Amino acid sequence: MIIEVPYFKYINQYKLFKMQNRKILEKYDIDLKVYDGLGNSPWNGGRFPNHDLPKKGINVSFAITAHTINDFNHKESHKILKDYDVPGNSIVISNLELLEKLKTIYKNYIYIYSITAFDINQGFDKYQNIEQLVDYIVPRSELIDNIEEFYKLNTEQYILLYSYECSYCPLYTEHYKYIGENINDQSKAHLTKCWFKNKKLFNELKYNVDDYDYEYTSSAKFHHKLTDIDSNVIGGYKIGRNFQDFDKIKDELWEIIKTIEKY
C-alpha cells in the first residue's frame, strides 16, 4: 500500500512520523513516499518545486509532470535521477515520450502516471492503455464518480488522490499545464493557486469564468465516495500539494490510515 505525501521540505517530519508509527505502518504494509518537483528542471509541471533535494533514508517520488518537453537530455535532471535510481523511489510523470526514454535508462524507479496528464474527454477506457505503460496511475476524480467504470480497470494499479482541493474542477488539467509551461516565470507564481477561489485571476488567463458552471467546494461528496472504496483493491492513496502545512497533511494521513483500518 503506497501513500504519497507532499513536499521535500517536511522530510524530517515524515522520518519522525515513520519512526513514531512504525508498528501501524508495518501492520498495513504502508510504503510512505515523499514527493515534490525535480529542482531546477524544465520537466516540472503544475507546481513551482521546492529546490531542496531530499536527504536519502526515506523513499521519494519526483513529480516531473510537464506536458510539453523540449529538452529530453537536460543534464541536471538526469544527474539527479541517476543519483536517486534505487529501489523504492518513484517518478510521477505526464509526458509519455519522456516516460519511454526514462524507462530505458533508469530501471529501479516505480513509474506513476500523473492525475494532471489524463484528458477526461478521451473516455475512461483509455486508462487501460496507460496501465500497460506504468506501474501505477493516479486517476481523475470523475473516475471515482463513475465507480462502475473504475471497477472495470485493474484497480490495484490505482493510487487515489485523497484531497479536498481541485476535485471536479473543469480546468484541472489546463491549470497544471499552464503553470508547467510558465514554471520559470516567478511573476506568475500566484497562478498556482485555485483560479475559482479567486476569480479575478481569470483576468490574466485566456479562459472566461462565465463559461464554466463550477464553484469551488470542499469536495465532501467526492471524499465520501472515495472512502467507500475498499482499500484492499487499490494501490494506495496520494495527498495533494495544496499549500497546506505539515499538521494538515498529518491529519489527512491519519484519515487515510483510518480508512485502511476500516477494511
Indicate the burial class of 132 (C-beta count within 10 angstroms; 0-12, 13-18, 19 or more). Answer: exposed
Residue 244 lies in a domain: yes
Contact between 65 and 138 (Cβ < 8 Å):
no
The pTM for the full model equals: 0.87
The 8-class DSSP code of residue 32 comes to E
Establish if 204 belongs to a structural domain.
no
Domain of 47 in residue numbering reads as 2-186+218-262
Query: Please, are residues 35 and 90 in contact by the beta-carbon 8 Å criterion?
Result: yes
pLDDT in tens, the chain (263 residues): 999 999 999 999 999 999 999 999 999 999 999 999 887 788 887 565 556 777 778 999 999 988 889 899 999 999 999 999 999 999 999 999 999 999 999 999 999 999 888 877 788 889 999 999 999 999 988 888 888 999 999 999 999 988 766 667 788 778 877 877 776 778 888 887 889 888 999 999 999 999 988 877 655 666 777 888 999 999 999 998 877 899 999 999 999 999 999 88
Neighbours of 94 (CB within 10 A): 26
Residue 197 maps to a domain = no
State the Cα–Cα distance between residues 173 and 74, nearest whole angstrom. Answer: 24
Q: DSSP code of 158?
A: B
Looking at the domain assignment, is residue 10 inside a domain?
yes
Q: Is 243 left (phi over 0), alpha (psi -120 to 50) or beta?
A: left
What's the number of domains the chain is made of?
1
CA nearest neighbour of 99 among 134, 128, 55: 134
Q: Does residue 206 sit within a domain?
A: no
Query: Quick check: 171 and 197 in contact, CB under 8 A?
Result: no
Q: Is residue 37 part of a domain?
A: yes
CATH of the domain at 23: 3.20.20
Q: Would you say residue 172 lies in a domain? A: yes
User: Residue 106 region, left (φ>0) first, then alpha (ψ -120 to 50), else beta?
Assistant: beta
In a domain, 67, yes or no: yes
